[in-house]
Every structure is written in C-alpha cells, then in structure tokens.
Amino acid sequence: MECIKDFQQEHKLEMRAVRDSMDVLNGKWKIAVISSICYYNKRRFSDILHDVEGISNKMLSKELKELELNQLIKRTVLDSQPVSVQYELTEHGLSLKTIITNLTVWGIEHRKKIFAT
Amino acid sequence: MECIKDFQQEHKLEMRAVRDSMDVLNGKWKIAVISSICYYNKRRFSDILHDVEGISNKMLSKELKELELNQLIKRTVLDSQPVSVQYELTEHGLSLKTIITNLTVWGIEHRKKIFAT
DNA sequence: CGGGATCCCCATTGATACTG
DNA sequence: CAGTATCAATGGGGATCCCG
C-alpha cells in the first residue's frame, strides 16, 4: 500500500520534471535554435537565422531572449563593423547536449522508419 | 576546404534530424502524454487525462490520434463495462524512453538551479 | 548586422455540451 | 468511459518597415 503510493508519488515528480523541461524548451523553434548553437559552439544571429529554416528574425530574437533569460545561452556583442552578436551555450545550456544528441539520433531513425513504410 | 564542407553538410543533417524529431513531438502536450504512458507502461484515457495537468479531453484525444498515426503508441479497446481504452508505447515509441529520461533528469536539475537563484 | 515596433490573420486551444 | 461537435477567443507568429 505504502509502496503503491510511493510509486505514484515518484511518477508525479517525474512528470513534473518533464513539464519543467518543456516549459523552458517549448515554442516552435527553441530546440532548433539551441541545436544550431550547440553544434557550432559559437554562432551569430544571422547564422542561426539561416540554420533554422523558416524562422523569422522576430521569432529568433524572441526565442534567443527567452533562452538567455533562462540562462541557457550567453550573448556577446562583438565590436566589429558592422556589429555582430555571438551566442553560445552556458554551462547549464551545455547540459542539454545529451538531449540534442538523442533527438538527432532519434530523428535519423524516425526518418528511416517513415521512408521504409 | 573539402573538410569544412563536410562539417557543414553534417551539421545540416543533424539539424534536419532534430527538426524531424520535433515535427513528431511538437504540440503543447505530446511529450507529457508520452511520458505518462511511458512511466506507467499501460495507461487509460482518463488516467492520462489526470496525469497531464491542464489538458482537455479534446486535446488529449487529438494528441493521442497523432501519436498513433506516427506509430508511437498503440491503442487497445478493452471490452469492459463501461468501455475503457488502453494506450501503450510501440517499439518505436519505446525508443523515446531515453529522451524522456533525460528530460526528467534535466528538469530536476533545472528546477534546482532556478530555486537556487 | 541585429534587432525593435506595428499590424493582422488564422490556427491552436479552451469551454461546454452531447453521444455510443 | 472515451471520445465528438460546435463556438469563441487569444495569441503565436508572419510580413513589413524602421533604427542604431
């Protein structure tokens, strides 16, 4: 009896953790933006704009701002002419690398499966 | 030169793979729904409805339908009275378990970090 | 170049009620 | 219990222009 309760309690915590993650990673583009920065280590605004197919500059700007607020990325203004801005993952952001990698692997497998059908 | 091209080509493939994954997993609730089924192995409609806080039956129905179309979950009608429907992950859906686990772990860490700030 | 501001539409979602 | 149907609203996000 106690045991069943503990199970359920544990599942609730797990579900909450998943929700916490998704709260940060939600939005149509967030994962893609993080991937771009993650795979290139450092990436400029216009580069990401190009990497993430279909995103508008408004949305990119918004997503980057949110990611910065959540301390997943670091924004650096380079004093070049004209100005360029560089984004990189923070240590906390880097801890998402495993998830990005898993999503990449899974995406490849999924594509195979779809084309096989 | 060739080498740089290869790098970029590889990154493009990785980015596409991430997008492929997110195409399937998008939607406000999909990950949470999968988590519920994943953690309990088998789960009924009303159970998931209860697990995923805030979801409406309409949305749950819709998300489940999409997940079934993408062959991530299997739907089984039990001939009980009244009828109940059971959902479980397919083999392909089970391959998401790693991602769910990582999201759980990351969510826990993230929560710690937020409260520490 | 890297964004901010504005306008505006339609898809996503919620609420509610109904059915087998 | 497991959905469906219908209506309404909101805000996500595209397009465009502008600015430092």
Amino acid at A96: L
Residue A19 lies in a domain: no
The answer to whether A43 and A84 are in contact (CB under 8 A) is no
Residue B2, pLDDT above cutoff 80: no
**Distance from residue B26's CA to nucleotide C11's C1', rounded to whole Å:** 14
- pTM equals 0.93
Q: Which residues pair with B89 in a beta bridge?
A: B73
Residue-wise pLDDT for B20-79, tens only, equals 999 999 989 999 999 999 999 999 999 999 999 999 999 999 999 999 999 999 999 998
Task: From A49, A108, A3, A64, select the one nearest B21 (Cα to Cα).
Answer: A108
Residue B13 lies in a domain: no
pLDDT recorded at residue A25: 93
Residue B24 lies in a domain: no
Q: How far apart are CA B100 and CA A117, in angstroms?
A: 25
| Domain around B55 | 29-116
Strand C: which of residues 48-67 in chain B lie with Cβ below 7 A?
54-59
Residue A83 lies in a domain: yes
Using CB atoms, pick whichever of B13, B24, B51 lies closest to residue A110: B24
Q: With DSSP H G I counted as helix, E B as strand and the rest as coil, what are the percentages for chain A, rounded to 5?
A: 70, 15, 20
Confidence of residue B7 (pLDDT cuts 50, 70, 90): confident
- Nearest chain A residue to B105 by CA distance is A17
CB of residue A44 closer than 7 A to nucleic acid strand C? yes
Q: How far apart are CA A96 and CA A36, in angstroms?
A: 12
Structural tokens at position B19:
């997008």
pLDDT recorded at residue B5: 77
Give the count of domains, chain B.
1
Using CB atoms, pick whichever of B51, B99, B107 lies closest to residue A102: B99
Q: Which pLDDT tens digits describe chain A residue by residue (117 residues)? A: 677 778 889 999 999 999 999 999 988 899 999 999 999 999 999 999 999 999 999 999 999 999 999 999 999 999 888 899 999 999 999 999 999 999 999 999 999 998 887
Q: How far apart are CA A54 and CA A14, in angstroms?
A: 33
**Other residues' Cβ atoms within 10 Å of the Cβ of residue A113:** 13
- B75 phi/psi in degrees, rounded to 5: -105, 130
Residue B44 lies in a domain: yes
pLDDT recorded at residue A1: 61
Residue A88 lies in a domain: yes
Structural tokens at position B104:
């759980």
Supply the CATH number for residue A39's domain. Answer: 1.10.10.10
Residue B1, pLDDT above cutoff 70: no
DSSP line for A31-87: HHHHHHHHHHSEEEHHHHHHHSTT--HHHHHHHHHHHHHTTSEEEEEE--SS-EEEE
- Nearest chain B residue to A92 by CA distance is B110
* Protein residue minimizing CA–C1' distance to D4: B58
CB of residue A70 closer than 7 A to nucleic acid strand C? no
Output the CA–CA distances (angstroms, integers) from residue A69 to A59, A63, A64, B1, in the order listed: 15, 10, 9, 38
pLDDT recorded at residue B82: 87
